[in-house]
Every structure is written in structure tokens, then in C-alpha cells.
Chain A
Amino acid sequence: MLLECKNVSKNYGRKKALNKVSLEIPEGRIIGLLGKNGAGKSTLIKLINDLLVLDEGSILFEGKPIGVYSKEHISYLPERTYLDKTMKVSEVIKLFKEFYKDFNEEKALKLLKDLDLDIETRINKMSKGMQEKLQLVLVMSREASLYILDEPLGGVDPATRDYILDTILTNFKEGSSIIISTHLISDIERILDDVLFIDKGKIVLSSSADSLRKKEKASIDEVFRRMFKC
């Protein structure tokens, strides 16, 4: 098993952000982590990336506790960029190369060239859409075993969404898995193998995407809307 979460809980003060969440992510799957705002998606992702400390339970990556090893093999796209915007693109690439053994510089340069992006540009001089694309290119240029993408489609136009989906499909390493968290389900559902619905800090549904469609005779988006009608 690539990733295993067992009875993971996380509280913010008295609020239970995650309540005994258990899940298993095998190799070679694309998984949609789907939930409303505040359902616990980002908390779970931050725990897996060692950016928060859990209160209860355990998370194992390839059988080892989260730590240096897991960070070497998990490529993470955060919801908000952590890049220093005064840096040039070429400087960020150098940073990634030094930081990650699995970073494929050649691939990153090629993808940026396809975007017509001059690598001597400073990040704060780029449009928001281009900044998002740059971040995605960096993350997908790592030859990781697990990619975790937190809201990769948030706040970008439909053409950019297509670019992002294409880039994900074209560039993930064969045999690796991808977890994509989003609430923009209709744009992404056709590439998913499996879906996890998360609500109020609990996993409320876990299924293969196609068998859920078959069972409910509806799109994943529709099933989600029915289940979480306000």
C-alpha cells in the first residue's frame, strides 16, 4: 500500500477538523478527494505532507511514518503558492533541483517552453493563471510516487483548467498515484479512478468512479450535489 491513514483525528481547539479518518491509497490510481469548503480536505492533505501534527491515529507512506522519506517521494501542490514571488523562474527551478532528487529539470524547461514562458521573468510579473501553471509544472516535473494536488483548478479560467488536466495526465510517472482535492467535480471527474467524499471531517463515501456512476445512474457531480444538498 502506498499510503495508509488509520483513525486519523485532528482538532482545532474544540472543533473536530478530522474525526477518525481511515483510508488506503494503492499504487497507480487517480483519486478525487471531494468535499465542500471546510469539510477537512486541506487538513487531511496537510497532515499527509507533515505540515500539521495529528492528534490521534497514524499515517504511513510505503509502510513508514510521515517524514523525510515521504517528502522525498510525495510531490505536493498546495492551495496557495509558497514560492517567493520576487524570484525569477530560473531561480525557482534551481531551487527545486537542489531540493528534490527526483526533479526532472529537462522536463520542466520543456513544459515552460511550451507555455512560451521566458525563464528570466520574475514571478510577480506573471499573471495569476501563469503563476498557477508554473507551480503545477514544477510539481509534475518531479518523478514522485504520489502527487497530491490541493484544488489545482481553483480560480482559473476553463482554458487553463484544460491545460492543467492535460498536464497532469501527460506527466505523472507511470505507476504513481495522484490525489486531487477539489469541489469543481464536473471538470475533473472523467480522469478519476476512485472517489472519496469527505464531509464534516469524515469519509462518507469511497467508491470507484465508474461503479458509482453505474449504481446511481448519474455523474459524480450529480451524486455529490444530491448527497450534500444544503
Chain B
Amino acid sequence: MDFNFDNERPIYIQLVEKLRLAIITAKYPLGSRLPSVRDLALKAKVNPNTLQKALGELESDWLIYTERTNGKYVTNDSKLVKKFRSDMAKDIVRSFISDMKNIGYSNEEIILCLKEKGEK
């Protein structure tokens, strides 16, 4: 996983994004056990408290759950993961469209551009 951080944004939010991506791309597969907080914090070179906060956020989204004394696991709910995946796709598309509009492309031109690229 890429653990480069941008110091200008809260670190825990960036951790949430990275971990969510790892779940969506099945780098952490459904139902799998996550590394311990301390191991994960070391890997990411962040403070264990910050990581704990990020995990709390994922837990409140039901993407992970805690099994008492046994550690943290990725959800088994594939629908939920798909929903987060499609939300992320929407965000990517939205930002792509806004970038294209910014350089003066019309909706038709954007669609044309996507088709051409897709056919290659």
C-alpha cells in the first residue's frame, strides 16, 4: 500500500481513504483479518492513536468490525463494499468532468473523448 501522506490534510482522513481503497480493491479481502494496530501504524509510519481513529471511522461505516480479543476484520458484506466502490467511482467521474469543463470541453466533447480513448 502507498503510505505517502500530504501534511496539509488531516492524517487520519488520509488513512481512512487508503484503507477504504485497500478494502475496495480486495487488497484486504472480504472477511479477512487486518494486521494489528501497532503493525499497521509502523508500516504507515504514523502514530498508533491516529490509526486507531481511522479504524474507528471505518468501523462506524461497517466496513470493518471488531471481534472481541481477536482483532479487526473486513466486513463480509459484498454489497456494502460495492456501494463504497461506486461512490468512489462517482467522485472520480465528478472530478474528471470538472477538470474537463475547466479547460473548456462541452459535455459532447467529453463523451467523444471518452469513447475514443475507450476504443483504443
Contacts and interface: CB of A to CB of B under 8 A. Distances in A.
Contacts of A30: 47, 49
A166 interface: yes
B10 A191 contact: no
A121 B82 CA distance: 59
Interface string A150-169: 00000000000000011001
B30 interface: no
Interface residues of B, number: 17
Interface stretch (A89-97, A104-112, A133-141, A212-220): A212-220
B19 interface: no
A222 B45 contact: no
Interface in B7-42: 7-13, 38, 41-42
B80 to A, nearest CB: 26
A106 to B, nearest CB: 19
29 contacts: A29-B49, A30-B49, A166-B45, A169-B41, A169-B45, A169-B47, A174-B38, A174-B48, A189-B7, A190-B11, A190-B45, A190-B46, A190-B47, A191-B46, A191-B47, A192-B47, A209-B11, A210-B10, A210-B12, A210-B13, A211-B10, A213-B7, A213-B8, A213-B10, A213-B11, A214-B9, A218-B8, A219-B7, A220-B7
Given A169-B42, A170-B42, A210 B7 contact: no
A128 B5 CA distance: 30
Given A213-B9, A214-B10, 8 more contacts: A30-B49, A166-B45, A169-B45, A169-B47, A191-B46, A210-B13, A214-B9, A217-B8
A222 B48 CA distance: 24
Given A165-B45, A169-B41, A191-B45, A210 B8 contact: no
A190 B7 contact: yes
A221 interface: yes
Interface of A: 28-30, 165-166, 169-170, 174, 186, 189-193, 209-211, 213-214, 217-222
Contacts of B42: 166, 169-170
B48 to A, nearest CB: 8
B50 interface: yes
Contact of B5 (A190, A220, A221): A190
Contact of A193 (B8, B38, B47): B47
> Which 5 interchain pairs have the tightest Cβ spacing?
A219-B7, A210-B10, A191-B47, A219-B8, A213-B10
Contacts of A174: 38, 48
Contacts of B45: 165-166, 169, 190-191
Contacts of B8: 213, 217-219, 222
Interface in B39-94: 41-42, 45-50
